[in-house]
Structure 1
Amino acid sequence: MTKQEMFDKFVEFMARFAEYKAVAALRDGFIMTTPFTICGSLFLLIANLPIPGYPELMASMFGPHWTDPLNAVAGGTFNILGFIAVLAITYKYVEAEGCDAIMASILALAMFVIIMPASVAVDGGALAENVMPKLWAGSNGVITAIMVAFFTSVVCCWCEKNHIGIKMPAAVPGGVARAFEALTPGVILFTTAAVVFGLCHFIGNTTLPELIFAVIQTPLQGLSDTIVGGTVFSMLMTVLFWAGIHGPNVVGGILNPLMIANSLDNQKILDAGMSLLGNPDAHILTIQITDTLMKPGGCGATFGLLIASYLVARSQQMKTITRLGTVPGLFNINEPIIFGLPIVFNPYMIVPFCLAQLAVMLIAYGAIAVGFMAPFSAIQVPWTTPPIIAGFLMNGWQGAVVQIAGLAAATAIYFPFVKAQDNAFYKEEQSEAEEHEHEEEGTPVLNH
């Protein structure tokens, strides 16, 4: 098998992978968490604006506890991420199957609550019983929420498609009938949850979320928080996008839950009164890097391509595409470049498209590793926030400087390739102009 055939097989596999219902539900479900995390981030940002003297000014105006209402909003969104995820993923999966998505989502939430820890340690080591710890409703319960969502979805769809349930007469209102139809999957799910809870408690004195967090989620977060992990994810995004598959959507379905959990873990360190800077327990790779910082202009750090084009472009085609792509690129929308240049299946662009984003990620990783910039907390900005402004809002002047350095590196990487592409366009335009000139003069064109 040739390299080209292997690459084609890989692209075909990833295209099929992206179409799996579970992958699509995971991706779309976490997209539904975005309004909550962004809104929570905005309130957290207001409480922690990176401006000298800002906390003191606000405290003098509103008192020493002025951040409490803002932090309550942030906590009310970040600390229920597991709840939101289990509802959203179940809904998207069951909806795609054409079944009753609302009832399945409610059943999934109930099952998730059943298997959660029901106590929390308080001062003095005592346990407060019959409580719902925010710790497991938030980032620590994300992987458990995903597993519960998929299990619930499969059970509910299987019962509905096989007509397993209590059927009511046609005269019964639809809402009442659906409620009774949900009894059978509800019994199956809640019995399973009770058995799992009992086994975990009596055999290991633990709960399923705690077990999954220790055995699965913590190793996955650790693997994702490395240069190797970041490199693999970045390359997958760009290679797939170059091949015409929306790489960030495919990879993000797997990556984003881990990256969000990393950033929320960092926020817990801050909430405990510790610093993130130089803290070995803090995660370096978080959702802010993979979703915003390493993509100035969009996937592939294509704002560097636009800058390079402004520096060297002579062809009308390159100039036109650059002008059309600049305003969307400022807001990290690069489809005009991806499909207009194009980058998709363009041999001139595969190398810089992959390397530019990787370089930006490595610069951000290095800046945090050496202590120039603190790891990111839970503060996020909308992905359409322009480069440099996004870096400043998320991590102060250091974040802005790191984004400037990343843009400079991306521009330098794109420069020779953009120049080669522009030369090819320019030669085509010159050749077409000569042909047009000869046609007007009525003389034949000699092929060289």
Structure 2
Amino acid sequence: MSKQELFDKFVDLMGRFAEIKEVAALRDGFIFTTPFTIAGSLFLLLANLPIPGYTDFMTSILGQGWAAPLNQVAGSTFDVLAIIVVLGMTYKYVDAEGCDAISAAVLSVSALFIVMKSSVIGPSGEEVTGVIPKLWAGSNGVITAILVSIIVSRIFCYCEKNKITIKMPPQVPGGVQRAFAALIPAVIIFATFAVIYTLCNWIANMTFPEIVFKILQTPLQSLSDTIGGGIIITALQSILFWAGIHGPNIVGGVMNPVLLANAIDNQHLLDAGLSLVGNEQAKIITIQFTDVFIKSGGCGMTLGFLIAAFLKAKSSQMKSISKLAFIPGLFNINEPIIFGLPIVFNPYLLFPFIVVPVIAMIITYFAIAIGFMAPLSAIQVPWTTPPILAGLLLDGWQGAVIQIINLLMATIVYLPFVKLQDNVYLKEEQE
């Protein structure tokens, strides 16, 4: 089998993977969390602006506890992430199947609560019952939420499609019909998760989220936080996008829940009064790490390509497409250059499109590992935030410096390939 045939098979495999119902629901459902996490991040950012003396200044004006309302908003978004995920993912899955999505989404929340602990241990060691523990409703319960969503969606769609429902006369209003149609699926779903809850407690003396966290989520988070894991995540996004498949959506759909959990774990360390710099418990690779520091200008760090084109391009085609793509590129939108130049299936640009973000990942990783930058917390900025400003908001001047270094590196690496592509276009224009 030739290299081209092997590559074609790989691209076809990833295309089929992206079409799996559960993967599509995970991708679309996790996008559903975006307004919650970014809005929560804005309040968290206001409470923790990376400006020397900011906290003391605000305290002198507003007094002690000035940040409590801001942290309350952040805690009410990030700490219920698993609930948002199970709602969004179930809704997207069931809606794509043409079934009653809202009923299924509500049932999935109840199913998540069934397998979750309903008690916490108080400060003095007493057990407080009748609560929803944020420990498992937040980042620690994300993988559990994904599994619950898949099980609920499959059961609900099977029941609805096979008419395992209570049928009402046509004279009954539609809302009442839908409510009763969800009754039998609800009983089956609740019974299923009651059995799961009982078995987990009987066999392991733990709840389902605790078992999933121990067996699946902790190893996934640890694997994603290695330099090898970072290289695979980064390179795979670029390879797929070069092949015409939206790599960030596919890879991000699978990995973003884990990377977001890494970021929230870091935030918990900060909330406990611990420093992230030099802390072995802190995670280096988080969702902001991949979204901000290895995607300046978009996947492949194509802003470096555009800067190189402004410096060296002579062909009319290269000049015009670079001018057209530059403003969107400043806001990390690079479809004009991906499909307009194009970069997709362009043999001249495959190497830098993969290598540039990988090098940026390595630079950023070691900048955090040696303590120049602090590991990133739960603070997020909108993905359209321009480079340098995004780094400044997330990690102070150090974050801005690393983004500048990454952009300079991207420009230098892209430069010879831009000249090569430009020569091709120039020759075509002259002919």
Distance apart, 1:416 and its partner CA: 0.8
Alignment of 1:284-363 (within 5 A): 284-363=284-363
Alignment of 1:121-160 (within 5 A): 121-160=121-160
Counterpart for residue 211 of structure 2: 211
In structure 2, what residue type is equivalent to 1:62? L
In structure 1, what residue type is equivalent to 2:376? F
Distance in 1, matches of 2:239 and 2:367, equals: 25
Counterpart for residue 275 of structure 1: 275
1:102 counterpart = 2:102: yes
Distance in 1, matches of 2:211 and 2:249, equals: 29
Distance in 2, matches of 1:52 and 1:279, equals: 21
1:394-426 CA distance string (max 9 Å, x none): 111111011111111111110111111111111
Counterpart for residue 230 of structure 1: 230
Distance apart, 1:51 and its partner CA: 1.4
Distance in 1, matches of 2:107 and 2:82, equals: 14
Distance apart, 1:126 and its partner CA: 2.4
Q: Secondary structure at the match of 1:128?
A: strand
Distance apart, 1:194 and its partner CA: 1.1
Distance apart, 1:124 and its partner CA: 2.9
Distance in 2, matches of 1:172 and 1:353, equals: 59
Distance in 2, matches of 1:14 and 1:282, equals: 32
| Residue range with higher mean Cα deviation, 137-146 or 167-176 | 167-176
Alignment of 1:33-182 (within 5 A): 33-182=33-182
Distance in 1, matches of 2:252 and 2:56, equals: 39
Q: Secondary structure at the match of 2:124?
A: helix
1:288-345 CA distance string (max 9 Å, x none): 0112221000000000101111111111111111111110000000011001111000
In structure 1, what residue type is equivalent to 2:333? I
Q: Secondary structure at the match of 2:120?
A: strand
Counterpart for residue 240 of structure 2: 240
Distance apart, 1:49 and its partner CA: 0.9
Distance in 1, matches of 2:246 and 2:197, equals: 39
Distance in 1, matches of 2:46 and 2:339, equals: 38
Distance apart, 1:202 and its partner CA: 2.5
In structure 2, what residue type is equivalent to 1:171? Q
In structure 2, what residue type is equivalent to 1:215? I
1:190-223 CA distance string (max 9 Å, x none): 1111111112122222100001000100001111
Distance in 2, matches of 1:8 and 1:287, equals: 29
Alignment of 1:177-196 (within 5 A): 177-196=177-196
In structure 1, what residue type is equivalent to 2:48? N
Distance in 2, matches of 1:315 and 1:283, equals: 45
1:33-53 CA distance string (max 9 Å, x none): 000000000000011111122
Distance apart, 1:58 and its partner CA: 1.0
Distance in 1, matches of 2:337 and 2:423, equals: 17
Distance in 2, matches of 1:204 and 1:21, equals: 31
Distance in 2, matches of 1:227 and 1:90, equals: 33
Q: Secondary structure at the match of 1:184?
A: helix
Larger Rg: 1
Q: Secondary structure at the match of 1:123?
A: coil
Distance in 2, matches of 1:214 and 1:409, equals: 39
In structure 1, what residue type is equivalent to 2:406? G
| Residue range with higher mean Cα deviation, 74-83 or 201-210 | 201-210
Distance in 1, matches of 2:19 and 2:204, equals: 38
Q: Which runs of 4+ in 1 moved over 2 A?
A: none
Alignment of 1:356-375 (within 5 A): 356-375=356-375
Distance apart, 1:59 and its partner CA: 0.8
Distance in 2, matches of 1:162 and 1:198, equals: 28
1:132-164 CA distance string (max 9 Å, x none): 110100000000000000100000000000000
In structure 1, what residue type is equivalent to 2:203? I
Distance in 2, matches of 1:290 and 1:28, equals: 19
| Residue range with higher mean Cα deviation, 73-82 or 421-430 | 421-430
TM-score (norm 2): 0.99
Structure 2, unaligned stretches of length 5 or more?
Answer: none
1:230-267 CA distance string (max 9 Å, x none): 11111110011001111101111101000110000000
In structure 2, what residue type is equivalent to 1:95? D
In structure 2, what residue type is equivalent to 1:135? L
Counterpart for residue 443 of structure 1: none
Distance apart, 1:360 and its partner CA: 1.0
1:426 counterpart = 2:426: yes
Distance in 2, matches of 1:165 and 1:97, equals: 17
1:45-74 CA distance string (max 9 Å, x none): 011111122111111111110000000000
1:261 counterpart = 2:229: no
1:141-188 CA distance string (max 9 Å, x none): 000000000100000000000000111111111111111111111111
Distance in 2, matches of 1:15 and 1:195, equals: 36
| Residue range with higher mean Cα deviation, 48-57 or 351-360 | 48-57
Distance apart, 1:20 and its partner CA: 1.6
In structure 1, what residue type is equivalent to 2:285? L
Distance in 2, matches of 1:200 and 1:340, equals: 53
In structure 2, what residue type is equivalent to 1:23? V
TM-score (norm 1): 0.95
Distance in 2, matches of 1:126 and 1:22, equals: 41
In structure 2, what residue type is equivalent to 1:165? T
Distance in 1, matches of 2:396 and 2:44, equals: 14
Distance in 2, matches of 1:258 and 1:204, equals: 24
Structure 1, unaligned stretches of length 5 or more?
Answer: 432-448
| Residue range with higher mean Cα deviation, 282-291 or 123-132 | 123-132
Structure 1 vs Structure 2: percent identity of aligned residues? 62
